[in-house]
Amino acid sequence: MSKSGKFDIIIAGLIIGVIASLLVLFGNPANMGFCIACFIRDTAGALGLHQAPPVQYIRPEIIGIILGSFAIALAKGEFSPKGGSAPLTRFAIGFCVMIGCLMFLGCPFRMIIRLGGGDLNALLGIAGFVLGILTGVFFLNKGYSLKRTYKLAATEGGIMPAVSVVLLVLLIAAPAFIHFTQPEGGPGAKHAAIAISLIAGAIVGILAQRTRLCMAGGLRDVVLFHDFRLISGFCAIFCACLVMNLILTAATSGTYFHLGFTGQAIAHTDGLWNLLGMYVVGFGAILLGGCPLRQLVLSGEGNTDSAMAVLGLLVGAAFCHNFGLASSGEGPTANGKIAVVICICVLAVIASVNTFAKNDS
Amino acid sequence: MERVDARGLSCPEPVILTRKALLGGAKEYEVLVDNVTSRENVTRFAEHAGYTVRVSEKDGEYTLSLKK
């Protein structure tokens, strides 16, 4: 199982990396074929949860990932509605993770994609991400746990897929109360055709569900168990992205690879805050048991705890733009810096309480 | 036979509990999990640790019998 398992995840990672680069060719923002954080943020904007006109669009990739995971989990008998493992704590961690993501301007998935596009600022992000994961692993080794989940009714597990269908209807019907970034109005206006994005998301959702792909789990498993399976998927995505971006740059008139720190798309060059933002994301992802992509996939499988984390990401994104916490290409904001420091403290408290406080599991 | 009850726990916790139990050095263990990811991960870890793993399933719960 282990050898074929590793082979499967490398193939999946390569396919996902190629899809991510192609989505940019088809219209997504540069170095943003996929970004779970940015896409949830855009969706929050489209629903009117925040009022930042440049980033408002119901991203079909998010819908596709949840529905792809849901469909394959059903087909493979792995759809398993469950929950009850510290749902509000998971909401709070998800909220913090989004603040970290929008400090850096990307989730761990986009961090790899950015590096594959030559954005060296991602290296600082990776450094912070690694430190955050190591912090989380420290608590795991000391006994950190959000306690057990319990089986729930099928209807409960079906809510996230149902909400995804509603979002798809809203996207296609485009009623007046849904906000979309105006053409040339910002990253929200840049997107591939709905069908392309939806299918791409579904493929990624299916592959990620089957392989258990997780950006944070990779390094965690290497450190904890000397298990290189998940991290090989992480590396495969980077390799595929890099090669595809070089090919696209050579074969088209566009620039898909630009090596350096400055002049990168939807990124800033403040190394310290890139590092600290992704520190929050790495730490939070370990406390949640998976990165934002993994949370989406699990929510499609019927895991309502992960659905709570996704809702935390959604509300966190709204707060980021309502309170000026999100960075821009100009750099981080003062409010964002304060929020990241607060998030580090909150995560440390959550980790400590759920590691050292003695209570029944 | 030592028993690890990891039902309701998400990865990596079942593997961490199994690893902790395996430090005891017994020849046989029984690990209970209730999701496929944990079943796969505990199996992979135990096999790397030199155990053979036999899996039985009942009502969505898996019993992993580890033997050295």
> Which of B15, B44, B51, B58 is the best mutation test for A, with the most CBs of A within 10 A?
B44
Direct distance between the N- and C-terminal alpha carbons of chain B, in angstroms, rounded to an integer: 12
Structure confidence by residue, pLDDT tens digits, B21-59 = 999 989 999 999 999 999 999 999 999 999 999 999 998
- In this structure, are residues A49 and A58 in contact, taking their beta carbons and an 8 Å threshold? no
Residue A289: its chain B contacts at CB < 8 A? Answer: 10-12
- In this structure, are residues A280 and A347 in contact, taking their beta carbons and an 8 Å threshold? yes
The two three-digit tokens of residue A286, written as one number: 């370990």
Q: Where are the alpha helices (DSSP H) in A105-211?
A: 108-116, 121-141, 154-157, 159-173, 194-211
CB neighbours of A349 closer than 8 A, spacing ≥ 6?
A: none
Cα–Cα distance, A198 to A179 (Å, whole number): 19
pLDDT at A291: 97
Burial class (CB in 10 A: 0-12, 13-18, 19+), A330: exposed
Cα–Cα distance, A88 to A82 (Å, whole number): 15
> Is it the case that residue A262 has pLDDT exceeding 90?
yes
B45–A227 C-beta distance less than 8 A:
yes
Cα–Cα distance, B9 to A275 (Å, whole number): 31
B10 Cβ under 8 Å from any chain A Cβ: yes
> Is it the case that residue A360 has pLDDT exceeding 60?
no
pLDDT at A359: 59
- Among candidates A80, A145, A229 on the partner chain, residue whose Cβ is nearest the Cβ of B35: A80
B52 Cβ under 8 Å from any chain A Cβ: no
> Which of B16, B23, B52 is the best mutation test for A, with the most CBs of A within 10 A?
B16
The two three-digit tokens of residue A338, written as one number: 């304060």
- In this structure, are residues A139 and A316 in contact, taking their beta carbons and an 8 Å threshold? no
B10–A289 C-beta distance less than 8 A:
yes
Q: State the average pLDDT over residues A86-106.
A: 98
pLDDT at A248: 97
Residue B60: its chain A contacts at CB < 8 A? Answer: 80, 151
For chain A, what is the mean pLDDT? Answer: 96
* Structural Rg of chain A based on CA atoms: 19
B11, B17, B53, B55: which is the annotated catalytic residue? B11
Evaluate if pTM is beyond 0.90.
yes
- Among candidates B8, B12, B43 on the partner chain, residue whose Cβ is nearest the Cβ of A1: B43
Give residue A354's pLDDT band: very low, low, confident or very high (50, 70, 90). very high
- In this structure, are residues A248 and A21 in contact, taking their beta carbons and an 8 Å threshold? yes
CATH topology classification for B2-67: Translation Initiation Factor IF3 (3.30.110)
- In this structure, are residues A24 and A9 in contact, taking their beta carbons and an 8 Å threshold? no
B7–A145 C-beta distance less than 8 A:
no
Distance of CA B3 to the CA centre of its chain: 9
A271 Cβ under 8 Å from any chain B Cβ: no
User: Domain locations in chain A?
Assistant: 2-356
Cα–Cα distance, A341 to A181 (Å, whole number): 31
A1–B12 C-beta distance less than 8 A:
no
pLDDT at A1: 39
CB neighbours of B61 closer than 8 A, spacing ≥ 6?
A: B7, B32, B33, B34
- In this structure, are residues A106 and A328 in contact, taking their beta carbons and an 8 Å threshold? no
A-proximal residues of B, 29-48, CB under 8 Å = 35-37, 40, 43-45, 47-48
B28-33 and B2-5 beta bridge pairing = parallel
List the Cα angle A146/A148/A150 in 5-degree steps: 135
The total of other beta-carbon atoms located within 10 Å of residue A261's CB is 17
Cα–Cα distance, A94 to A58 (Å, whole number): 19
User: Domain locations in chain B?
Assistant: 2-67
Q: What residues does B16 pair with on adjacent strands?
A: none
B16–A224 C-beta distance less than 8 A:
yes
Q: State the average pLDDT over residues A254-283.
A: 96
- Among candidates B8, B12, B36 on the partner chain, residue whose Cβ is nearest the Cβ of A224: B12
Q: What percent of chain A has pLDDT over 70?
A: 98
* CB contacts < 8 A (A, B): 55
A221 Cβ under 8 Å from any chain B Cβ: yes
CA distance A226 to chain B (A): 9
Burial class (CB in 10 A: 0-12, 13-18, 19+), A24: buried
Active site residue B42: no
> Is it the case that residue A244 has pLDDT exceeding 90?
yes
3-state secondary structure of B33: strand
Give residue A21's pLDDT band: very low, low, confident or very high (50, 70, 90). very high
Residue B36: its chain A contacts at CB < 8 A? Answer: 78
Type of residue found at A254: G
